[in-house]
Each structure stands twice: as structure tokens, then as C-alpha cells.
């Protein structure tokens, strides 16, 4: 049989909706409001949003842990309702919580998981995967004796046993130290290089900006932005001029009401302005005319953090 054509989208959601039923203690929650989201095959995709935005709900619907209330979703071209087996087989999800059986060793965990997915013994890549995540020397240690970072990497390994073309990482580096984060990203980048589509949720916007080629921002159950990272960051035509004065200021000089001016802890005057409305030259001129002599200056670009705040506040 010829191989079926590769899908354009690794994940495609149309009008995806979810309302959690209320309980005695909590009212119903409309967690996803007719979400349309198409994640291109081969993307390194960031799914960002404040707490309670609906990210986990979205991921859990894909993973079959939460039942949607409406709309459609497909993974690797397989509809999650019509073809749940193939849909599930196309995705690996690294969960947020470090929930694992403390009495299994990494090698046992992976073998069990492979069995669960029906991966034939001859096709298992247990050693290769454990080596890739740096856990081969811990292969016979009980999970309860592993460090937090090691457990996290074991979860990534478990998500990869059935060689899914789509890997979803839900807050994978929360509480993981810098060195282990780098190791984890090295492995994820390698998988991406081999063609695996990566979907990442993270609170570290810097990390998302650095790693992801495309970013979607969810807020209150709606997708409020979805575009290439560069374009998203460029959306805010905003820069900050930072001037260190010769003599200390007690307040920003008057006359800067059309921009955002403030004093920083180190005494620097920070003026945030729209590049379409002001030039550095003009602003420096005004600073000098306000009687401030300049000891040093720098210009800061807007980053994902600024865009995120601008889009999700209010
Ligand atoms: P995020 O992952 O972006 O923090 P969630 O998907 O966890 O957001 O939550 C979205 C909304 O759905 C929130 O208002 C949350 O309180 C609600 N919610 C999430 N899970 C449940 C659940 N099991 N039962 C009821 N409400 C839920």
C-alpha cells in the first residue's frame, strides 16, 4: 500500500468547544470557546496563555483525557472521534505533573508504555530513547530515587516510545534547573530536526521566544493571536530609551505625557515609546531640553513578554 500523503497540519481544531459542568462548589466553566487552531506539520509551536486560559483543556482533549463539548479536532489528519486509535497513536504528551509509579525503573516504565501502545518488541527503541534523554545509566533505578529533572526526562522518554510524529510538552521545564533544561531542549530540538512537530506550553516566555517558530496566545478560552514568533514580537512597535543622568533625578522630567516615562531603581530614566510616533533623536532632544545631562544610554526592544502583557491584559 502506498504511504498516505502527509497532512498539512499536525493538529487541526475547528470550533473546538468545552464547558465543564458545574458542581456544588464551582459554577460551570466555559474553558474553550469555539477554538480554531491549525498547527503546521514540522512546526515548533508555542501555546501560551495566562493561568486558566484553556491550554491544558485543549491538550487534554487531544490526549483523550477530556471530552469536548463541541467542534472537531484532528491529529496528523486523524479525527479524534472518527479515528481515535490513529489520532492517539500520532501524539505523545508529556504531562505537567510528575505522576509515575515509584516502583518501576526507567527501563520497565518504557517497556510497559511500549506494550500499552502495542509497539512490537523488535521495533522498541528503549535503549536509544533512554540514552537520548541521559537516563541510560539510571535504567535500573526506581523512579522514586530519581531527581525531579530526571523524572521530567523520563516522562519525555515515555511520550516518545511509539515514535509519534507530534510531541506535546506541557510546562516541561517548570522547576527544572538550567543545566537539565538545556539537556531537555537539546533532545527536543533533535527530535524537531528529525521532523517531529513540537507543541510547547510554557510560562517562560523567553524560552518560547527562543525556541518556537510560531506562537498562539490563548486567553479566556479564545485564540487571540497566532502567528510566526518574529511577526508577533514585531507587532508591538515599541522600544524603551534608557537614559542614565549625570545627576540624580527625583522624578521623570515634565513634558513626557505622550510616552511612558519612569525612573528605575538604578536612577535611570526609562522612556517607552512607539517607534511609529517618536524617534530617538526627538526624545533625546527633549531629555536635554529638560535639563538632563546624559551619562549613558541604551535602547531596549520589545519582547514576547511585552506583547503577551499587551494582548492579555484588559
Ligand atoms: P490553563 O491550562 O491555561 O491554565 P485550563 O484548561 O486548566 O487552563 O482551565 C481553563 C478553565 O477551565 C479554567 O477556568 C478552569 O478553572 C476550568 N477547568 C479546568 N479543568 C476543570 C475541571 N476538571 N472541572 C471544572 N473546571 C475546570
So what's the pLDDT on residue 3?
63
Q: What is the band of 183 on the pLDDT scale with cuts at 50, 70, 90?
A: confident
Q: Which residues' Cβ are closer than 6 Å to ligand 1?
A: 20, 29, 31, 49, 51-57
46-63 mean pLDDT:
94
pTM over 0.95: no
Q: What class does CATH assign to 239-312?
A: alpha beta
Which residues, at least 6 apart from 212, have a Cβ–Cβ distance to it below 8 Å?
A: 44, 45, 46, 200, 229
Q: Is it the case that residue 276 has pLDDT exceeding 80?
A: yes
Are the CB atoms for 35 and 13 separated by under 8 Å? yes
Top mutation candidate among 21, 29, 66, 68 for ligand 1, by most atoms within 8 Å of CB: 29
Three-state SS for 13-53 is EEEEEEEECCCCCCCCEEEEEEEEEEEECCCEEEEECCCCC
Helix (H) or strand (E) holding 198: strand 197-201
Are the CB atoms for 91 and 104 separated by under 8 Å? no
So what's the pLDDT on residue 153?
87
Q: Is it the case that residue 248 has pLDDT exceeding 70?
A: yes
Q: Are strands 269-274 and 260-263 parallel, antiparallel or unpaired?
A: antiparallel
- Centroid of ligand 1 to alpha carbon of 31 (angstroms): 6
Alpha carbon distance 82, 80 (integer Å): 6
* Extents of the domains making up the chain: 9-233, 239-312
So what's the pLDDT on residue 158?
93
Least reliable range by pLDDT among 1-10, 33-42, 279-288: 1-10
Nearest C-alpha neighbor of 62 from the set 35, 44, 42: 35
As a CATH number, domain 9-233 is 3.40.50.300
Helix %, strand %, coil % for the chain, to 5?
A: 30, 30, 40
Q: Is it the case that residue 2 has pLDDT exceeding 70?
A: no
pLDDT per position as a tens digit, 204-247: 888 899 999 999 999 999 999 999 999 998 888 889 999 999 99
- Centroid of ligand 1 to alpha carbon of 268 (angstroms): 41
Alpha carbon distance 167, 180 (integer Å): 19
Top mutation candidate among 22, 25, 31 for ligand 1, by most atoms within 8 Å of CB: 31
83-91 mean pLDDT:
95
So what's the pLDDT on residue 289?
94
Residue 84: strand, helix, or coil: helix
So what's the pLDDT on residue 114?
95
pLDDT per position as a tens digit, 4-24: 689 999 999 999 999 999 899
pLDDT per position as a tens digit, 102-159: 789 999 999 999 999 999 999 999 999 999 888 999 999 998 888 888 888 899 999 9
Q: Look over the chain and give the mean of its residue pLDDT values, rounded to a whole number.
A: 92
Q: What is the band of 76 on the pLDDT scale with cuts at 50, 70, 90?
A: very high
Amino acid at each position: 500500500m502506498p504511504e498516505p500523503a502527509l497532512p498539512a497540519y499536525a493538529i487541526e481544531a475547528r470550533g473546538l468547544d468545552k464547558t465543564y459542568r458545574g458542581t456544588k462548589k464551582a459554577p460551570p466553566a466555559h474553558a474553550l470557546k469555539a477554538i480554531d487552531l491549525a498547527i503546521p506539520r514540522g512546526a515548533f509551536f508555542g501555546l501560551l496563555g495566562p493561568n486558566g486560559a484553556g491550554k491544558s483543556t485543549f491538550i487534554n482533549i487531544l490526549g483523550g483525557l477530556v471530552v469536548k463539548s463541541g467542534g472537531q479536532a484532528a491529529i496528523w489528519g486523524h479525527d479524534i472521534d472518527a479515528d481515535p486509535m490513529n489520532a492517539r497513536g500520532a501524539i505523545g504528551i508529556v504531562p505537567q505533573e510528575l505522576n509515575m509509579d515509584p516502583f518501576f525503573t526507567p527501563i520497565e516504565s518504557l517497556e510497559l508504555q511500549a506494550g500499552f501502545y502495542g509497539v512490537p518488541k523488535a521495533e522498541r527503541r528503549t535503549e536509544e530513547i533512554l540514552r537520548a534523554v541521559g537516563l541510560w545509566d539510571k535504567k535500573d533505578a526506581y523512579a522514586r530515587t530519581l531527581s525531579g529533572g530526571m523524572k521530567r526526562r523520563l516522562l519525555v522518554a515515555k511520550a516518545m516510545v511509539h515514535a509519534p510524529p507530534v510531541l506535546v510538552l506541557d510546562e516541561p521545564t517548570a522547576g527544572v534547573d538550567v543545566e537539565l533544561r538545556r539537556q531537555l531542549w537539546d533532545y527536543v530540538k533533535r527530535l524537531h530536526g528529525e521532523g517531529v512537530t513540537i507543541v510547547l506550553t510554557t510560562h517562560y516566555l523567553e524560552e518560547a521566544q527562543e525556541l518556537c517558530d510560531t506562537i498562539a496566545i490563548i486567553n479566556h478560552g479564545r485564540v487571540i493571536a497566532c502567528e510566526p514568533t518574529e511577526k508577533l514580537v514585531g507587532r508591538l512597535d515599541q522600544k524603551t530609551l534608557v537614559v542614565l543622568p549625570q545627576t540624580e533625578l527625583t522624578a521623570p522630567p515634565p513634558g513626557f505625557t505622550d510616552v511612558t516615562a519612569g525612573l528605575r531603581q538604578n536612577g535611570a530614566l526609562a522612556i517607552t515609546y512607539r517607534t511609529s510616533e517618536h524617534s530617538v533623536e526627538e526624545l533625546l532632544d527633549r531629555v536635554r531640553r529638560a535639563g538632563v545631562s546624559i551619562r549613558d544610554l541604551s535602547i531596549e526592544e520589545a519582547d514576547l513578554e511585552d506583547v503577551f502583557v499587551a494582548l492579555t491584559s484588559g
